[in-house]
């Protein structure tokens, strides 16, 4: 059976990705299955650079095909910030709620008509011999006035999906898994993995 390594220790991401790849004839491993897999410094200038870097290091270390993603929230009123720095928006070692509080504070005086944002996810599949395949998933939305909902992770409580009028954190998981940026990128990766399997 084909084995794929998810180049992340983020358990929320691992859980979500495994759910979205269910049904494929592949075995999904994560970075936690390789305790000595080195941490990767995400210092790329783009989401694509970071995704490739993480997947490449995992593929070289494990000798298996590796899958990595880098996701970012781009807010129009903040000139595209936090973007590639989304995970560390409130500083090193910050947690999800720190990032959300900072974002809402910066957006406090921005009117509802100017709160557009885009969630982007770039996924990279890298083979041990160096072959690379990348895909992108995009979801457009609006930044909420306050955190709403108890589901999801990251910026989910502050990102409203317009067609539902709810944040990702308020939506049922099955709906989020059809509409999110990561779901759209994984749908493309799924087609590639289905051929490989």
Which of the following is catalytic: 12, 69, 70, 174? 70
Residue 69 annotated as catalytic: no
String of DSSP letters for 81-109: -BGGGGGGTT-TT--HHHHHHHHHHHTTT
CA distance 27 to 139: 28
Q: Which residues contact 39 (CB under 8 A, 6 or more apart)?
A: none
Q: Which residues contact 43 (CB under 8 A, 6 or more apart)?
A: 50
* Residue 154 falls in which region: left (phi positive, over 0), alpha (psi -120 to 50) or beta: left
At 44, give phi and psi (nearest 5°).
-70, 160
Residues marked active site are found at 70
């Amino acid at each position: 059976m084909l084995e794929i390594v998810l180049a992340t220790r983020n358990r929320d991401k691992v859980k979500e990705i495994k759910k979205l790849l269910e049904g494929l004839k592949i075995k999904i491993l994560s970075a936690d299955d390789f305790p000595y897999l080195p941490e990767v410094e995400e210092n790329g200038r783009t989401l694509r650079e970071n995704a490739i870097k993480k997947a490449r290091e995992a593929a070289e270390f494990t000798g298996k095909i590796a899958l990595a993603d880098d996701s970012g929230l781009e807010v129009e009123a903040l000139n595209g910030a936090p973007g590639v720095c989304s995970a560390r928006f409130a500083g090193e070692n910050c947690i999800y709620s720190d990032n959300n509080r900072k974002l809402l504070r910066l957006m406090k005086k921005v009117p509802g008509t100017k709160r557009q944002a885009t969630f982007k996810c770039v996924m990279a599949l890298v083979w041990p011999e160096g072959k690379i395949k990348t895909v992108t998933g995009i979801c457009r939305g609006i930044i909420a006035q306050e955190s709403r909902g108890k589901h999801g992770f990251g910026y989910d409580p502050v990102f409203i999906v317009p067609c539902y009028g709810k944040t990702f954190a308020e939506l049922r998981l099955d709906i989020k898994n059809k509409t999110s940026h990561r779901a759209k990128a994984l749908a493309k990766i799924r087609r590639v993995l289905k051929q490989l399997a």
